[in-house]
Amino acid sequence: MEHRLKLHIVGGDSRLRAETSRLAFSLGHHAEIYSDFAELVALAPQDGVIIACSDVLAMGMDRLLERLGAAGMWLPVVAASQSPDVDEVVQAIRAGALDYMRLPLSEAEFARMVSHVAADAGRHAEARRRLVEARQRLGTLSRREREVLDWLSEGCSNKAIARELEISPRTVEIHRANMMDKLGASHAAEAVRLRLEAGIESKPAESKAASTSGDEVMQLDAIAQRAS
């Protein structure tokens, strides 16, 4: 076997979990089954890939990845459900899922997922670790400190930020110093890097959807088509 995978199948219908694990074993892989998220966290596996099924996905991929990160688990996550729609697939991938699969799995779909995991899992897990940690650090900021960071990321000076927020430059300096301290950043570039690692790329006045690139849309559409 070129790449033997360990799957951690969590949530969803017990019959589908059993079918997925049998398919994994029949193809030479290993599978562990968890009835719910609490059981997964209690056992805290440190290698392999998590297959997150229906009810676990209900908390939202963002929240799922944050809770996994809080538990010190950086395994790549593949979302899986019986009838995913395009919006669900796109949102899950944007939030940090490595892949999205339709249940019950076919051998062909399973093989595609294994190939994807083999190629990207290590890089993806590290990127997700940075993303979750960056979001946790940004979560300590006040609304005004976050606004200062947003405008700082656009290359604005303290005076320009003061004009945009309609506050004094001295107040901007105070918010900026507090923001840098909370983020543990020694210079502005480091704070901006954390913002990017958290997946925040749009300008302060723009929506996230408006900042999605054409290439990203094409990639998300391709994944959505595979899951549909």
What average pLDDT does range 49-71 have in this prediction?
90
Same domain flag for 17 and 84: yes
pLDDT band (50, 70, 90) for residue 209: very low
Same domain flag for 159 and 67: no
Residue 114 lies in a domain: yes
* 29 closest CA partner among 61, 6, 56: 6
Same domain flag for 101 and 190: no
Same domain flag for 14 and 111: yes
Residue 82 lies in a domain: yes
Same domain flag for 43 and 62: yes
Residue 86 lies in a domain: yes
pLDDT band (50, 70, 90) for residue 225: low
pLDDT band (50, 70, 90) for residue 135: confident
pLDDT band (50, 70, 90) for residue 217: very low
Same domain flag for 171 and 94: no
pLDDT band (50, 70, 90) for residue 216: very low
Q: Quote the number of domains for the chain.
A: 2
Enter the pTM of the model: 0.62
Q: For residue 202, is pLDDT > 70?
A: no
**Domain coverage including residue 188:** 139-197
Same domain flag for 103 and 69: yes
Q: What is the pLDDT of residue 161?
A: 96
Q: What is the pLDDT of residue 121?
A: 65
Q: For residue 2, is pLDDT > 60?
A: no
Residue 206 lies in a domain: no
